[in-house]
Structure formats: C-alpha cells, structure tokens
Structure 1
Amino acid sequence: MAAPARILVYGVYGAGKSTLAARLAERLGLPWVPVDDLLWRPGWVEVPVAEQRSRIEAVCRRDRWILDGAYHGWRDVVLARAELVVGLDYPRGLSFRRLLRRTAGRLASGEVICNGNRESLRSVLSRDSILVWHVSAFGRARRRMRTWQADPGGPPVLLFRTPAELDRWLADLPSSLPH
C-alpha cells in the first residue's frame, strides 16, 4: 500500500491533534490545514456551517493534506477522501490535563490561536468553554473513532491509547513522502 497522502487526525479537545498534525506534516512533507483557521473568524465568530463545508470540500479536493479535526456539518466530506485516520483515543484524564495546561498557558501568554483569536478568562469560564466541551464531547469522540475503526467501508483507522504508542508509530514512519 502506498503511503497515505490525505490524513485526518482526530480526537477530543486537548488530545494533541494539532501538535500531531504539525509533526506529521513536517515528517511526511504533507500540507497541514489547521481546521480552526477554517471555522473561526476574528472575535470568535463561527463561520456558518455551509461555508465551513465549502472550505473543507476545497481542501479535500486536493491530492495531499492533513486535517486536525472533523466536525458534524462536514465530517462526511473528510472521511470520504481520507486515506488514513489517526485517532488519539487517550484516557479522559490525560487529555483533560493537557487541555488545562494548554489553556492556562494560552491565558498567561495571550497566544494568538487562529485568525487573531485568543482564549480569555471569560471564555474559559463560560458555558461554551472548551473545558466544558471536552467533558461533554469525550464519550462521543471516543465512540466515533472506535466505530470508524470497525467500519470496513471507511478509511483505515489507527487508534493510539497512549502517547508512547503514538511515539513508537511515529518513529517507524518514513521521513517524507514522494511528491
């Protein structure tokens, strides 16, 4: 089998999807398209789902890409074109601790996340907080990845239950794909 050129990195908030997507892009020589850049306008204004879908369709028509997420309004588009899904199926405690650490760091540094947006104490304490989303979405994300893995009609799914498993897999990857 040829090395995959269209990869979806999937997992719950805080699992490390963007970090892994960046590592894979560098290692495999594939373009990484950060999903948050396609979903959010400045001021944390969400792009309408129809426009999100159009943007994702444009990315997925390309021959080579890595995406670091797939959401309800267009998940089908990504799965139809992905050649590999890399699922970060880490324990809830691990991904939540990572999310807390990342969020605290972003609050302290004022780091720009996407399109000029930053996390704020107000957003972290709101009912739409990424921390709340993690708690409510964890089980669904985990079930979804496991369902994909069991589906013989979908793309291959590699599930990693620990960072050490992922690191072992990454160590065996080729340094880049032919262009």
Structure 2
Amino acid sequence: MKKILLIGSGGAGKSTLAKQLGKKLSVPVYHLDTIFWKPGWTPSERETFRAKVEELMSGDEWIMDGNFGGTLDSRLQRCDTVIFLHYSRWTCLSRAVKRRFMYHGKSRPDMTEGCKEKIDLDFLKWIYFYNDRKAPEVIQKLRQSEIENIIILKSPAQTEKWLNTISSS
C-alpha cells in the first residue's frame, strides 16, 4: 500500500481515516477538499485542480481522500489500493451533523482555512442518496478496474478492526 485512494460518502470519515493511515504507514496525506476549495468556499478552476492532483499522484507514496468525480478515473488508474467507506446513510448523516456542530464557526483541519464548516440541504440530500445513486457507480468502476487491493468497509467498527491489522512502518 503505497498509493491509496480513500473514497465514500460525505460524513463517512475519509479524512480521519486518511490521517490515521498516513501516520501508521508514514505516507503523505492529501485531502482533496483542501486542494479544490479556496477560502470562502470558492472552487478552484477545474484544470488547475486536475493539474495539482496529477502532480501529487506523481509521487511514490500518497494517500488521497475525497470523491471528486472529475479526477476519479485518473486516480483509480494510478493507485494501488482503494479503501471505500461504504457506510449506512444514517451513520454518514449523523457524523456530518456532529461535525457541523464540532467545528461551528471554524474550518476543520482537513479543509482549507477560511472555509467555515457548514451544512445545507443539498449536502444532506447528497449523503442521504449516496448509497442509492453514487455508490453503485463507484462499485462498478472498482469492478472494472485492475486494482488488486480493494477494501470495502461497511461500518466504523469494521474500519477500526481493519485499521488495527495495519502495522506501523
């Protein structure tokens, strides 16, 4: 596991797991949210974002967390491991709401400074429908890929158990 892609619904805990895994493996972690979003929730230019992701993927080791469909195919081609947090909608929704309160009025550590934590109906709907609408597409892409190491974790408890099997470097 040298080039790891971490994907899943909003609120699943991708960034938290990426940090934990990065620490255990001594591999640099890149949160795609911090690359895409500029202060004030201003999106980056698509081409600028893609170029930065490509640059980061040229490294020998990395962990990238985030979905960002516009770069997913490229990232799937370059990674050696995919970790898909395929949690229930209720787990993800409750975690997203909890995160909103935990970081009220400030930017969370895995987000660009100046992007104060927020939650809106569109984001909640995206999380609610993720397993119905997005997850099947992701699973299909994973099945069609040539990635040998695909790890699908279905609950926080399963993730914690799996993480405990990973030895530190």
Q: Quick check: TM above 0.5?
A: yes
Alignment deviations for residues 72-114 of structure 1 (CA, whole Å, 9 cap, x no partner) = 211111111110000100111111111111112222x534531
Secondary structure at 2:7's aligned position in 1?
Answer: strand
The alignment status of 1:39 with 2:36, answered yes or no, reads yes
Q: 1:76 aligns with which of 73, 80, 84?
A: 73
Q: Give ranges in structure 2 of 5+ residues lacking alignment.
A: none
How far is the alpha carbon of 1:152 from its aligned partner?
A: 5.2
One-letter amino acid of the structure 1 residue matched with residue 146 of structure 2: G
Tell me: CA distance 1:39–1:152, structure 2 relative to 1, closer, same or farther (3 Å).
closer
Q: TM-score, normalised by structure 2?
A: 0.89
Equivalent position of 2:18 in the other structure = 21
Structure 1, unpaired ranges of 5+ = none
- Residue deviations 1:49-94 (CA, integer Å, cap 9, x gap): 1111111000111111000013121111111111000010011111
What's the TM-score, normalizing by structure 1? 0.85
Q: Secondary structure at the match of 1:94?
A: helix
Question: 1:136: Cα distance to partner?
Answer: 4.2
Residue correspondence of structure 1 range 94-109 to structure 2 within 5 A: 94-107=91-104
| Contact persistence 2:106–2:115 (CA under 8 A) | no
Q: Answer yes or no: is 1:141 the counterpart of 2:134.
A: yes
CA distance in 1, matches of 2:150, 2:4: 10
Cα 1:61–1:140 shift into 2, 3 Å: farther
CA 1:11 to 1:52, structure 2 compared with 1: closer, same or farther past 3 Å?
Answer: same
Amino acid at match of 1:161: K
In the alignment, the residues of structure 1 paired with residue 38 and residue 67 of structure 2 have an alpha-carbon distance, to the nearest angstrom, of: 18
Residues 89 and 130, structure 2, Cα contact 8 Å, conserved in 1: no
Query: Partners of 1:139 and 1:103 in 2: how far apart?
Result: 24
CA positional deviation for 1:168: 1.5
Q: Which has the larger radius of gyration?
A: 1
1:88 aligns with one of 85, 97, 102: 85
Q: Paired residue for 1:67? A: 64
2:106 aligned partner: 110
Asked if structure 2 preserves the Cα contact closer than 8 Å seen for 1:56 and 1:77, the reply is no
The letter for the 2-side match of 1:68 is D
Deviation larger for 55-64 or 163-172: 163-172
Runs of 4+ in 1 over 4 A off after TM superposition: none
Aligned residue for 1:172? 165
Percent identity (aligned): 28
Q: Does 1:161 align with 2:157?
A: no
